[in-house]
């Protein structure tokens, strides 16, 4: 008989560090504090705990190192801290995920946010881990059912793919993420909620994600009122949880809402560390931080599972060239654009198909399926080019066969893009074929792919 029930406890005891380095606060500014006594032991990004004489304890992050002192950004404002306060070095950020976290909401430090006890896992994982070796990674896997007709057909998602979801505020981004969390074929989902309003976190869990989606999900949340240190760590912690499940051989769906808030938190920290501003106010290290996060997702190495990821990006005024969107779009395997005009006329998800791309095509679909996809895109493009004339009543039927076909198919195709797909991928393509058949009421081939 083995002592397996005690393996987790033994691992936790072995990881304990009974002796920790301690420094003292020697100066405090408007946003940071200077600490002496930790220069030899501290590393950039390490966590510390500031212990005030009145029993107040506050976390902080090491931002800069010098020969005689380190600069620390406290979690929150430095108000109430005093010269001489003890500062305990906690070490690099780590988290200990566990399968029992499914259905739970945690903070970036692995503490429960739902008021119930939480069992940590037996092993700690670094928040900022390296991605699998490029030469050891598998290629993209098979096509996944998503429960949404648009993604099952025209914008396929495959196992291990990384896509971006680009949207302004109030166009259904969170609702679409929740539908993907419920519908994508995966063993579990890990959701990073970075910089959201506290009310929205609760609403997302109870009304948007629902019990079905929550049962197979872990949510790592940091609300907008928390410090940039905590908000940035939320994305890292969520990815570490996803990597834990991936290394157990699972297929993990990772959803980040949003990378923009992650980048904004990184900007605050970088500027506090005296990094110069560039890229419309973002410091140069922003690109590396975003790409490092995205590269950790994707196909795993042999013997491990995969992380299929959806990274949402807030774009003001549909500006796809703003820094965060531009950086992320260059490292992903596709992007989906949600359009406010489509949302305003009541079609959800408000996917602008003509501006959205899945780089899993054409390999993710068969020859006949690719022909259907090309035909649908061409019809949508023809209608889009002539829409102003059509709406104004200036288009004369028969002037252009392509536009005539697009007008016939438009109502059905627009409705198809908002449909759920409970029957799976094959049923969705069969439904798409029925919709496209309306484009050829004369019996003459139109717009073959």
Residue ranges of domains in the chain: 20-91, 99-358, 367-438
CATH architecture of the domain covering 367-438:
Up-down Bundle (1.20)
Reply yes or no on whether the pLDDT at 280 is more than 90. Answer: no
pLDDT recorded at residue 167? 93
Neighbours of 126 (CB within 10 A): 13
pLDDT recorded at residue 80? 80
What integer is the mean pLDDT of 104-109?
96
* Cα angle 55, 58, 63; round to 5: 145
Q: What is the CA radius of gyration of the chain?
A: 25
How far apart CA 127 and CA 118 sit, in angstroms, is: 19
How far apart CA 419 and CA 429 sit, in angstroms, is: 12
Residue with tokens 């309306």: 438
Per-residue tokens: 255: 């959803």
pLDDT recorded at residue 30? 76
How far apart CA 414 and CA 352 sit, in angstroms, is: 11
For the ranges 16-30, 241-255, 283-297, 386-400, the lowest mean pLDDT is seen at 16-30
CATH architecture of the domain covering 99-358:
3-Layer(aba) Sandwich (3.40)
Q: Which residues of 132-147 are buried (b: 16+ CB within 10 A; e: fewer)?
A: beeeebeebbebbbbb
Average pLDDT, the chain: 91
The CA distances from residue 75 to 25, 26, 50, 290, 295, in Å, are 15, 18, 10, 22, 28
CATH architecture of the domain covering 20-91:
Beta Barrel (2.40)
Neighbours of 187 (CB within 10 A): 16
Reply yes or no on whether the pLDDT at 445 is more than 70. Answer: no
What integer is the mean pLDDT of 60-71?
93
Beta partners for 90? none
Q: What confidence category does residue 360 fall into, taking pLDDT thresholds of 50, 70 and 90?
A: very high
How far apart CA 289 and CA 303 sit, in angstroms, is: 27
Neighbours of 343 (CB within 10 A): 19
Q: Return the higher-pLDDT residue of 442 and 334.
A: 334
pLDDT recorded at residue 9? 65
pLDDT recorded at residue 318? 67
Q: What confidence category does residue 52 fall into, taking pLDDT thresholds of 50, 70 and 90?
A: confident
Q: What confidence category does residue 2 fall into, taking pLDDT thresholds of 50, 70 and 90?
A: very low
């Amino acid at each position: 008989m083995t002592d397996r029930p005690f393996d987790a406890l033994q691992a936790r005891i072995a990881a304990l560090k009974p002796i920790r380095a301690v420094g003292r606060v020697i100066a405090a500014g408007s946003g940071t504090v200077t600490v002496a006594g930790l220069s030899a032991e501290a590393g950039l990004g390490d966590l510390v705990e500031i212990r005030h004489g009145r029993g107040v304890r506050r976390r902080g992050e090491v931002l800069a190192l010098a020969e005689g002192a380190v600069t620390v950004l406290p979690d929150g404002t430095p108000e109430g801290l005093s010269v001489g306060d003890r500062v305990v070095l906690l070490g690099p950020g780590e988290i200990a995920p566990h399968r029992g976290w499914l259905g739970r909401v945690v903070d970036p430090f692995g503490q429960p946010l739902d008021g119930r006890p939480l069992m940590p896992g037996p092993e700690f994982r670094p928040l900022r881990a390296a991605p699998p070796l490029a030469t050891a990674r598998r290629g993209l896997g098979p096509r996944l059912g998503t429960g949404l007709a648009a993604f099952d057909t025209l914008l396929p998602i495959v196992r291990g793919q990384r896509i971006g979801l680009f949207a302004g505020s109030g166009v259904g981004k969170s609702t679409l993420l929740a539908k993907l969390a419920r519908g994508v074929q995966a063993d579990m989902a890990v959701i990073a909620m970075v910089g959201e309003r506290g009310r929205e976190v609760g609403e997302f869990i109870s009304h948007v994600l629902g019990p079905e989606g929550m049962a197979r999900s872990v949510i790592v949340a940091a609300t907008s009122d928390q410090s940039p240190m905590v908000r940035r760590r939320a994305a890292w912690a969520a990815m570490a949880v996803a990597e834990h499940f991936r290394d157990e051989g699972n297929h993990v769906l990772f959803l980040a809402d949003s990378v923009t808030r992650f980048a904004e938190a990184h900007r605050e920290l970088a500027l506090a560390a005296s990094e110069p501003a560039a890229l419309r106010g973002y410091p140069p290290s922003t690109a590396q931080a975003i790409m490092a996060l995205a590269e950790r997702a994707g196909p795993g190495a042999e013997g491990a599972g995969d992380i299929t990821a959806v990274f949402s990006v807030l774009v003001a005024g549909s500006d796809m060239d703003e820094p965060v969107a531009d950086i992320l779009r260059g490292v992903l395997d596709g992007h989906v654009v949600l359009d406010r005009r489509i949302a305003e006329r009541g079609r959800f998800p408000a996917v602008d198909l003509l501006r959205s791309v899945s780089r899993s095509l054409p390999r993710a679909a068969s020859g006949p399926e690719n022909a259907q996809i090309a035909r649908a895109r061409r019809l949508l493009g023809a209608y889009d080019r002539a829409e102003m004339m059509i709406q104004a009543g200036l288009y004369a039927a028969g002037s252009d066969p392509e536009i005539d076909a697009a007008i016939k198919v438009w109502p059905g195709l627009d409705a198809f893009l908002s449909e759920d797909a409970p029957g799976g991928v094959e049923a969705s393509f069969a439904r798409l074929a029925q919709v496209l058949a309306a484009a050829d009421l004369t019996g003459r081939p139109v717009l073959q792919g």
